[in-house]
Structure 1
Amino acid sequence: MEAWLYSLLNALALPQFGLSTVFVVAFVSATLLPMGSEPAVFGLIKLNPELFWPAIGVATVGNTLGGALNWWLGYGAHQAYDRLTHKEHPVKARALLWLRDFGPRACLLSWLPVVGDPLCGVAGWLKLPFWPCVLYMALGKFLRYLFMTSALLWLFPGMVELPR
């Protein structure tokens, strides 16, 4: 078990794999697994400042694709429920009614910790239009990465310094 964990950590080492690692970490962190991708993005940019925009872009794409997967999982769960019960699930909860009324724009909040990932799944459950949801997810996630990374770089300018 220890060897497997060591090889996994080696495979995810930022300086060795860079943008592909950021993509995988961002994708996985957008699923319902409890994981954050901001440290990976910040670490890569701190070690390679010239990768600021590529890292923000790759993280946004990975995280948005993870949110899109959550949308499809929610949509599929609703389809399965309808097939098993032979009836449409009524939307009664106030939060679900709010989300349905707000529409795809609610996916702009998919960047929020704890509630953002399930929000994408609920958008799929409610059968909100896929592409507008993905567009709002991408915008929210892009702004989060841009703001968080810029703030961390500004707050901790000397946090990681490579020996010369």
Structure 2
Amino acid sequence: MFTELGYLALFAASFLAATILPFSSEAVLSGMLVAGFDPYVSLVVASVGNWLGGMSSYWIGWLGKWHWIEKYLKIPASQIEKVHKKIKGKEGWVAFFTWLPGIGDPIAVVLGLVKSRVIPTAIWMFIGKALRYAVWGYLTLKAMELF
């Protein structure tokens, strides 16, 4: 089904995988490569889709209020402020790790919540996500050579 929709399906899968929805865009990328889609175009489409999904999580965090975190998640403002101080000036390095499964999406939301600088956050988030897809794509292509 995904290969019938081509790059649009890869973009959608990559976008959704960068939200709190559990979804494996890597499996879709591998399927696209096995089906013969262009590896470079696939890498760009997956990276941009996942980056935009990550930036949407960042934006959701940006819209959030600290008192909501205190009220609903029972995390005190002092702890949130500690995280903010640790992140300040290191937004890029923190955003780089938004590619990590399970914790990457909450990282993006927290970066938005603490109002991290947009440009470094966006750039490093893209780099991290693109590198993940590049490695995954490379491993998929190498595995195809073996079989």
Tell me if TM exceeds 0.5.
Answer: yes
Q: For the aligned residues, what is the CA RMSD?
A: 2.4
- In 1: Cα distance, 2:33 partner to 2:21 partner: 24
Change (3 A) 1:91 1:74: farther
Q: How many angstroms does 1:129 deviate by?
A: 1.1
Q: How many angstroms does 1:22 deviate by?
A: 0.1
Does structure 1 residue 119 correspond to structure 2 residue 139?
no
Matching residue of 2:16? 28
- In 2: Cα distance, 1:54 partner to 1:91 partner: 45
Gaps of 5+ in 1: 1-12, 160-164
Match of 2:28 among 22, 25, 40: 40
Matching residue of 2:120? 132
TM-score, normalized by length of structure 1? 0.76
Provide the identity percentage.
26
Q: How many angstroms does 1:91 deviate by?
A: 4.5
Matching residue of 2:60? 73
SS of 2:145's partner is coil
Gaps of 5+ in 2: none
Change (3 A) 1:95 1:148: farther
Does structure 1 residue 155 correspond to structure 2 residue 143?
yes
Matching residue of 1:53? 40
TM-score, normalized by length of structure 2? 0.84
Q: Which 4+ runs in 1 deviate beyond 6 A?
A: none
Conserved in 2, the CA contact under 8 Å of 1:64 and 1:141? Answer: yes
Q: How many angstroms does 1:45 deviate by?
A: 1.2
- In 1: Cα distance, 2:35 partner to 2:78 partner: 48
Higher RCO structure, 1 or 2 (CA under 8 Å, sep 6+): 2
